[in-house]
Chains A and B, each alone.
Chain A
């Protein structure tokens, strides 16, 4: 009897394991997602179970906000002409990719790094990177310089056992800079130790450092090192196979970049539409047709995105940069013409 029960249990357990191992082949066909979104009348974009400042957070009046949320809004505006049709679905980190496969969300815009494993094995297709997250070192301004050499003979606070810790150790070793690593289990401890002066500097992911800095007694007393330790390209993730949807995401990002490159902001977009400077602006703002039809959208989608959400500079500044509390330097996230790594595609 007991043996039989055991056998049955094993069979059931085996079935479940087998089910979970079935490769998630829930791919989409070209144009499926746009059609599904339009039929449903809402765009399902990723949120967070809690908040991940400054990408996904909640305002005092219970609304989603943040850098990634703004791009979710831009996506909804591109498809529907209004962000009223955006539904932000709160999902945890662990849930991200299964939720995309099962159709709980149409697109993940959630500080998601473009890795080969995700790209090839998980059945996911990435947009072009819309943000690069630099691992960086924060140090007191009173040291007088922001170069790595400043920290010679000093100490560095890091979270124990993380890739950041190894990255920092290698970085300083390869440059022949002697630095003492002081590690802590919890990021709160690490932060407190830095603020208490137990170490001269703090290593972390750039946006997280910016969040930490604004919580300091005097945020202006702390600066970022002028060299990044590593870069992670963050991209929007979509189901494999729907090239049209990936195109829409790519050109949605590109529209905000091209607008910035041409000095078009949410404030002056109407003037630019009335008097387009060149043929690129004409196409971007839908003065001459083409930008919409090729994606299956209306010709004024990019105009709507810029008008309602803003160009890439505005989205960055409002959420992460100068106009936010975090005041993170635009750095590599600027357009190539301003010394960054963002290169808009060509609108023809």
Chain B
């Protein structure tokens, strides 16, 4: 028996490992101890600031100055602004529900059961429809609330979801177009992608929000929010198209030719041979683009949208709360972290599931 086990590495106890890796020599000991002390101090300072010496309730704001820790009273008093921006106070349940619906839609579309064109479109039409009805109102006895009053987390989520859902199909079209065998099409798509990639996002948003009203006729304008989302989606799609193109280019041409010899038509080859592998090949880059986009939604504040960061500024920007901006930013940072970290972990899970990196 023992002879067949020689492949298994010897079992090393935890203490031996610790000794080998961190306390092998006096210098190692010193470095390890210093590092542990350093991190312990930093963590203790933060825990002390955030939890031990902090004030939690809005009524206790007067105690904040002497407490020495975080003054979470500002969150207690003003969290509705961070979450809902300028959405009317009595209708906050609508904004909350809309957020929940949208997050649920995003989570649902992460399950592979939904990964068919029909199911995915059905899910998103349903998700977007309910979000819009809840936020905008005007039907089922809900009062109308126009987009200039939307804000906070709800607006950030809406912009991110809308940009992703418009941008993703667009990016596939752009990537395929750029790889077209027809030179005119390939050049035009290439120019389109490179043109929008060479402009800063800020310029595109500013143009969409502020300049287009001078250029387009009134009936084509729509609300500023939708113009900005359209501009943002084009920007997103151009970057994502290049990620997908990288994935497409990694597929050996023999596969497509094999598909042709089997009699598959263009769309069959694209949807069954090329795209699944392209997504698998560039998954890390694609997830990366989503992460970047979620964080870049904060740029829309420059064209006057009350997304979560602007709402945060409004939350601390009055009277006694002006000194507590750090607490507000830490709180918003935690919300961003929650979303982006989940997104990254989901990407990592997908990579594992699709065995990205293993050939």
Footprint of B on A, CB under 8 Å? 1, 5, 8-9, 12, 19-20, 22, 24, 26, 47-53, 57-64, 87-92, 94-95, 98-99, 101-104, 188, 211-212, 214-215, 217, 324-326
Contact = CB atoms under 8 A, between A and B. Distances in A.
A102 B212 CA distance: 9
Q: Is the interface of A mostly helix, strand, loop or mixed?
A: loop
A95 to B, nearest CB: 6
A95 B314 contact: no
Contact of A99 (B210, B215, B315): B210
Given A87-B146, A98-B211, A215-B322, A49 B301 contact: yes
A58 B86 contact: yes
A9 B191 contact: yes
B310 interface: yes
Nearest to B80: A62
A139 to B, nearest CB: 20
Contact of A325 (B213, B320, B323): B320
Q: How large is the interface on B (under 10, 10 to 19, 20 to 34, 35 or more residues)?
A: 35 or more
Contacts of B89: 61-63
B269 interface: no
B231 interface: no
Contacts of B315: 58
B157 to A, nearest CB: 18
B177 to A, nearest CB: 16
Nearest to A97: B210
Interface SS majority for chain B: helix
Nearest to B188: A8
Contacts of B310: 49-50, 90
Residue from A8, A12, A62, A217 with most neighbouring chain B CB atoms (10 Å): A62
A60 B317 contact: no
B87 interface: yes
Given A12-B195, A51-B318, A26 B303 contact: no
B213 A53 contact: no
A19 B322 contact: no
Interface of B: 65, 77-78, 80-81, 84-89, 92, 146, 148, 151, 187, 190-191, 194-195, 206, 209-211, 213-215, 224, 301-306, 310-311, 313-315, 317-320, 322-323, 325
A102 B214 contact: yes
Contacts of A89: 148, 304
A151 to B, nearest CB: 25
Contacts of A94: 206, 302
Nearest to A16: B207
Taking each of B81, B224, B320, B322, which has the highest tally of chain A beta carbons within 10 Å of its own beta carbon? Answer: B322
Contacts of B191: 5, 8-9
Given A60-B81, A62-B88, 15 more contacts: A19-B211, A20-B211, A49-B310, A50-B317, A51-B313, A57-B318, A58-B317, A62-B81, A63-B89, A88-B148, A90-B148, A95-B303, A102-B210, A102-B214, A212-B322
